[in-house]
Chain A
Amino acid sequence: SQELEQSPQSLIVQEGKNLTINCTSSKTLYGLYWYKQKYGEGLIFLMMLQKGGEEKSHEKITAKLDEKKQQSSLHITASQPSHAGIYLCGADRGGSNYKLTFGKGTLLTVNP
């Protein structure tokens, strides 16, 4: 099984709707990274969470870390077509951002 499980695998929403993507780790998390990727392109850094209960926001995207559950959620409010892409969570297992373990990603489609 995957060390990092993302759900759902894909998501189609209507523009303006809210959505949540989850990332669950089977191992201890030292840090949890969220990235966005356009198909076939590089990863765009969104947020990094380190402490249990930590919550960060950037524009309409909010991410939370539940340390006890070893889980993070990414919430997008009032989605726009520009939010479309693949969302990847990456885990730092050893207190270093040099070697990240990634989930398979969640493909988000936002219909106008």
Chain B
Amino acid sequence: DAGVTQSPTHLIKTRGQHVTLRCSPISGHKSVSWYQQVLGQGPQFIFQYYEKEERGRGNFPDRFSARQFPNYSSELNVNALLLGDSALYLCASSSEGGTEAFFGQGTRLTVV
């Protein structure tokens, strides 16, 4: 079975632009969470979606938004990019009642 897949793997954007990152969870997993990992830090929680509904939001500005589709895949959108948004963006999927959270390989976003 395929694990959590994220696309693209790398991305370079200019300040002020918009970016969309994509995540496909493990088959059967209905929950998707997004994390931001800045160099030298642990991942920070951004959003969690379950059954297409937002269930949790971390301490991130409104420039960050996300959605989940009927097939449980998810998109993370970031508007008006800042240099400080440069980071590895990680997606994790979990099964209902499961105790494990599995992560994808991440999308490396560089804002110049």
Interface residues of A (CB under 8 A from B): 4, 31, 33, 35, 40-45, 48, 50, 88, 90, 97-105
Interface of B is mostly: strand
What residues on B are CB-neighbors of A4 within 8 Å?
Answer: 42
A40 to B108, Cβ gap below 8 A?
Answer: yes
What residues on A are CB-neighbors of B64 within 8 Å?
Answer: none
A42 to B44, Cβ gap below 8 A?
Answer: no
B42 to A103, Cβ gap below 8 A?
Answer: yes
Known: A42-B90, A99-B56. 4 other contacts (CB 8 A): A40-B88, A42-B105, A44-B103, A98-B50
What residues on B are CB-neighbors of A90 within 8 Å?
Answer: 42-43, 101
B41 to A98, Cβ gap below 8 A?
Answer: no
B99 to A99, Cβ gap below 8 A?
Answer: no
A45 to B102, Cβ gap below 8 A?
Answer: yes
Cβ of B98 within 8 Å of any chain A Cβ, yes or no, is yes
Other-chain residue from B31, B33, B58, B104 in contact with A42 (beta carbon distance below 8 A): B104
Give bound CA distance, A71 to B74, whole Å. Answer: 34
Give bound CA distance, A44 to B56, whole Å. Answer: 23
A97 to B44, Cβ gap below 8 A?
Answer: no
Interface residues of B (CB under 8 A from A): 4, 6, 31, 33, 40-45, 48, 50, 55-56, 58, 88, 90, 92, 94, 98-106, 108
A45 to B108, Cβ gap below 8 A?
Answer: no
B44 to A98, Cβ gap below 8 A?
Answer: no
- Given contacts A98-B50, A99-B33, is CB(A88)–CB(B99) below 8 Å? no
B90 to A98, Cβ gap below 8 A?
Answer: no
What residues on A are CB-neighbors of B104 within 8 Å?
Answer: 42
A25 CB to closest chain B CB (Å) equals 13
- Given contacts A97-B94, A98-B31, is CB(A43)–CB(B55) below 8 Å? no
